[in-house]
Amino acid sequence: MDRSAARVISVEINGQRYSLRTHLDPEYVARLAAFVDERIRTAAQETLSGDLVKVAVLAALNIADEYFRCREATASDSGSLRARTEALERLVDLALTDAGYPPAGRR
């Protein structure tokens, strides 16, 4: 897809039609809109308020919470992965040293 040419994509969220000018893939935008629509409908069911702005804010908070939890989990996994990688590197260095190769950094 030509990144320089934005296109207008029409989506429906909570019964409202929105025209979005974007460089993103139309199928991806449709998936995003469906996700937001689902979250707004869920928030609307969980609150007695008919105020659309309040429902949208609650949906946005739920989406932000999910995003932050994923980001924190990824950061946590990254630290764990780094520690495992360093441990494996030490094992490889020991094996190479035992095989008569100089330690890393002295080759």
Q: Which structural domain, as residue segments, surrounds residue 90?
A: 7-98
Q: Would residue 42 count as lying in a domain?
A: yes
Tokens at residue 11, please?
Answer: 């989506």
- Asked whether residue 29 is domain-assigned, the answer is yes
**How far is the C-alpha of 10 from the C-alpha of 21, rounded, in Å?**
9
Q: What angle do CA 60, 61, 64 make, to 5 degrees?
A: 85
The secondary element (H helix, E strand) that includes residue 19 is strand 16-22
What's the mean pLDDT when you consider all of the chain?
83
Please state the pTM of the whole predicted model.
0.65
Instruction: State the pLDDT confidence band at 1, using cuts at 50, 70 and 90.
Output: very low
> Does residue 104 belong to any structural domain of this protein?
no
Is residue 105 scored above 70 in pLDDT?
no
Q: How confident is the model at residue 41 (pLDDT cuts 50, 70, 90)?
A: very high
Cα distance between residue 76 and residue 13, in whole Å: 34
Which residue in this structure is represented by tokens 């992965």? 81
> What pLDDT, on a 0 to 100 scale, did the predictor assign at position 48?
80
| Count of domains observed in the chain | 1
Is position 32 within any domain?
yes
- Determine the average pLDDT of the residues in 13-30: 94
Q: What is the per-residue pLDDT for 63?
A: 93
Asked if residue 57 has pLDDT above 60, the reply is: yes
Q: Is 106 inside any structural domain?
A: no
Counting residues of the chain whose pLDDT is more than 70, the rounded percentage is 83
pLDDT exceeds 90 at position 7: yes
Domain contains 2: no
Longest dimension (CA), the chain: 74
Give a yes or no: residue 68 inside a domain.
yes
